[in-house]
Amino acid sequence: MFLLRKRPLRQIRINTSTLTPKFSSTTTSRETPVIMTDSTTPIHKVGTDDGWHGVIAQGSQFPPEKGRYHLYIGLFCPFAHRINLLLHLFHLTSLIDISVVKPYPKGDDKGWPGWCFPETDGEYEGATMDKLFGSRWLHEVYFRDDPEYKGRFSVPMVWDRGGGRVVCNESAELLRWLPTAFTPLLPTPSPQTSLSLYAPHLRPTIDNLSTWIQRDLNTGVYKAGFAPDQETYDKNVLPVFAALNRLEKVAMENGGPYLLGEEMTEVDVRVFATLIRFDTIYVQHFKCNLGSIRHNYPVLNNWLKNLYWNVPGFRETTDFRHIKDNYTKSHPAVNPRGITPMGPFPHVEEGVETDWSKLKAGGVEMREVRELEAKL
How would DSSP label each residue in 187-214? -SS-HHHH--TT-GGGHHHHHHHHHHII
119-131 per-position pLDDT tens digit: 998 999 999 999 9
Closest-CA residue to 50 (of 29, 17, 26, 22): 26
92 to 24, 82, 102, 194, 265: CA distances (angstroms): 22, 14, 23, 14, 18
Looking at residue 4, its pLDDT comes to 33
Asked if 136 and 228 sit in the same domain, the reply is no
Q: Which residues does 305 contact at the CB level (< 8 Å), separation at least 6? A: 348, 349, 350, 351, 352
What DSSP character marks residue 313? Answer: T
Closest-CA residue to 73 (of 23, 31, 38, 113): 23
Asked if 72 and 28 sit in the same domain, the reply is yes
Domain CATH number, residue 234: 1.20.1050.10
94 to 69, 186, 195: CA distances (angstroms): 11, 11, 18
Identity of residue 373: E
Asked if 217 and 341 sit in the same domain, the reply is yes
Domain boundary among 179, 194, 209: 194
Domain boundary among 145, 163, 194: 194
Asked if 185 and 205 sit in the same domain, the reply is no
Looking at residue 188, its pLDDT comes to 80
Average pLDDT, the chain: 90
Residue 192 pLDDT > 90: no
277-286 per-position pLDDT tens digit: 999 999 999 9
Asked if 131 and 266 sit in the same domain, the reply is no
Using 50, 70 and 90 to split pLDDT, how confident is the model at 37? low
Looking at residue 48, its pLDDT comes to 97
Asked if 237 and 359 sit in the same domain, the reply is yes
- Whether 116 is a known active-site residue: answer no
Asked if 63 and 161 sit in the same domain, the reply is yes
Using 50, 70 and 90 to split pLDDT, how confident is the model at 33? low
Asked if 98 and 223 sit in the same domain, the reply is no
Determine the average pLDDT of the residues in 319-345.
Answer: 96
Asked if residue 49 lies in contact with residue 26, where contact means CB atoms within 8 angstroms, the answer is yes
293-311 per-position pLDDT tens digit: 999 999 999 999 999 999 9
Using 50, 70 and 90 to split pLDDT, how confident is the model at 94? very high
Determine the average pLDDT of the residues in 62-78.
Answer: 98
235-264 per-position pLDDT tens digit: 999 999 999 999 999 999 999 999 999 999
Domain boundary among 149, 179, 194: 194
Using 50, 70 and 90 to split pLDDT, how confident is the model at 5? very low
Out of 77, 116, 168, 288, which one is annotated catalytic? 77
Degrees, nearest 5: CA angle 103-107-109: 115
231 to 62, 161, 166: CA distances (angstroms): 47, 47, 40
Domain count for the chain, please give it: 2
Which domain does 331 fall in, by range? 201-373
Asked if 244 and 112 sit in the same domain, the reply is no
Residue 140 pLDDT > 70: yes
Asked if 94 and 110 sit in the same domain, the reply is yes
142-186 per-position pLDDT tens digit: 999 999 999 999 999 999 999 999 999 999 999 999 999 999 998
